[in-house]
Amino acid sequence: MNEQMTQLVQQLGDWLVGLGVPETQKTAAAFGLLFLLATFLVLILILVLFRLRGGRKPAATGEEEPEERREPERPAKEVPAETAGEEAPAEAVAEVPEPRAVAAEEPLVTDTGVEPVAEEAEPAGEEAEPTADQAAEAPPEEPASLFQRMRRGLAKTQAGLVGRIDTLLGGRGKVDAELIEELEEILITADLGMQTTQALIAAIEQRMARDAAADPQMVRQVLQQEMSRRLAEVDTPFDLDRPGPMVVMVVGVNGVGKTTTIGKLAHLWTAQGKKVLLGAGDTFRAAAADQLEVWAGRAGVDIVRHAEGADPAAVAFDAAKAAVARGADILLLDTAGRLHTKVNLMEELKKVRRVLAREIPEAPHETLLVLDATTGQNALVQARLFKEAVEVTGLVLTKLDGTARGGIVVAIANDLQLPVRFVGIGEGIEDLRPFEPEMFVRALFEK
């Protein structure tokens, strides 16, 4: 062993002499080189170990998981080196619009403001996306501030919209026509829609006309202000404190998240001291009422349901009667997204409205249209249809957590001139947020 070592040092020394090291110092130089190599190897080893540990952390918002959560939630969940880091990438900050990853309900993170480690931002792999089942099994979250939860829910839109804008602005010294053109493209691909994009660009151009020396950061400021302003313009107070049962009818096409939203609202309003009753107006499948019943159980509220195939207007009638009789503060009525019979869905919804109004004056007080944000412009088309047929008073945008197309929130509110009431940022019972325009935009733009 020793002999081999001496030989190695000798050979190294000879090689170094060849490179110009003085003959007298060749042994010292050879040792020096060996020492350097060893240090280098140790460093690489440390980096590899670090990577393995770090890979198991979700990189969703680039924020670190708090220490106390790590242990109980990931017990001995050892992953082989090559799969480490795959839990997060679906959410990892990337510039390309990512595949639709609904239900990324990994137990995520709270705020420490740490930026994502570059090597964690790997491209999304199919197997990286948790299924709805896995999502449902995820342990309940610990409380985080509302703002941080909103930020986390919007991580994909943040990356796809503001992240791309920042990259664009970062590389430019001045605001010129080319920059504006690229910005326009980003806004449209983030589903802000043609109309809203044009309005935002016009605001930037106006500002440029006033201040020719404006730097690229001005663009960011104007965008943030304009989005906030446009959302706030259509925002009206949501009054829960009216006398008598307040009837909230929830409409929207199949699968957008109506039933889930009703469950979350029942929980939210019960926690605010309201007596809530649910009406299972989606009689298309027995499973729909079963699903609502599960949510009623979770939220600890009563439910009125009929058999599968029953007339939704009859459910509405019974539910309204029960709400009055039981002294409920709020009746939340679920509706179908499609029907058994050939009756037009919109006609059916109008009939339900008439029945409600006969039982409770001015009911339904609110008609919330639920839209799936991941469907982008399609949501806008649906919204127009429903708005024409039934008097929609407010919007709920669901699944914002699963999409980079959250810009649709601004587009819909702006195009339809309707207030966004709530946004869904996950499948859990707590994952519905009352919409606050200023907070929403700040969650997108804050660095």
User: Known binding site for GTP: residues?
Assistant: 252-259, 334-338, 398-401
CB of 369 to Mg ion, least distance (A): 14
**Binding site feature residues:** 252-259, 334-338, 398-401
Rule CB under 6 A: is residue 44 a binding residue for ligand GDP?
no
CA 251/CA 257 separation, integer angstroms: 10
Phi/psi-derived region of residue 432, left when phi > 0, alpha when psi is between -120 and 50, beta in every other case: beta
From Mg ion, ligand GDP, none, interface partner of 252 (C-beta below 5 to 8 A by class): ligand GDP
Task: Give the residue at shortest CB distance from Mg ion.
Answer: 259
Which strands, in side-by-side order, build the sheet including 276-281? 302-304, 276-281, 330-335, 246-251, 366-372, 394-398, 420-424, 432-434
Scanning 69-77, 282-290, 312-320, 363-371 for contacts with Mg ion by CB under 5 A, the matching segment is 282-290
Of the candidate residues 175, 256, 289, 323, the single one contacting ligand GDP (CB under 6 A):
256
| Contact set for Mg ion, span 288-307 (CB under 5 A) | 288
Kindly report the backbone phi and psi dihedral angles of residue 194, in degrees, each rounded to the nearest multiple of 5, phi listed first. Answer: -60, -50
Amino acid at position 282, single letter = D
Rule CB under 5 A: is residue 259 a binding residue for Mg ion?
yes
From ligand GDP, Mg ion, none, interface partner of 426 (C-beta below 5 to 8 A by class): ligand GDP
CA 344/CA 370 separation, integer angstroms: 19
Q: Which is nearer to ligand GDP, 98 or 427 (CB)?
A: 427
Rule CB under 6 A: is residue 401 a binding residue for ligand GDP?
yes
Tell me the CB-side half-sphere exposure of residue 53, using CA atoms within 13 A.
9
Of the candidate residues 89, 407, 419, 426, the single one contacting ligand GDP (CB under 6 A):
426
CB of 389 to ligand GDP, least distance (A): 17
Rule CB under 6 A: is residue 252 a binding residue for ligand GDP?
yes
* β-bridge mates for residue 334, sequence order: 280
Scanning 75-83, 168-176, 281-289, 421-429 for contacts with Mg ion by CB under 5 A, the matching segment is 281-289
Q: What letter would DSSP give residue 429?
A: T
| Contact set for ligand GDP, span 318-357 (CB under 6 A) | 337
Rule CB under 6 A: is residue 279 a binding residue for ligand GDP?
no
Decide if 111 contacts 145 (C-beta within 8 A). yes
CA 344/CA 217 separation, integer angstroms: 50
Kindly report the backbone phi and psi dihedral angles of residue 109, in degrees, each rounded to the nearest multiple of 5, phi listed first. Answer: -135, 165
Instruction: Enter the tokens of residue 64.
Output: 């670190």
* Interface with ligand GDP (CB under 6 A): 102-103, 132, 252, 254-260, 337, 398-399, 401-402, 424-427, 431
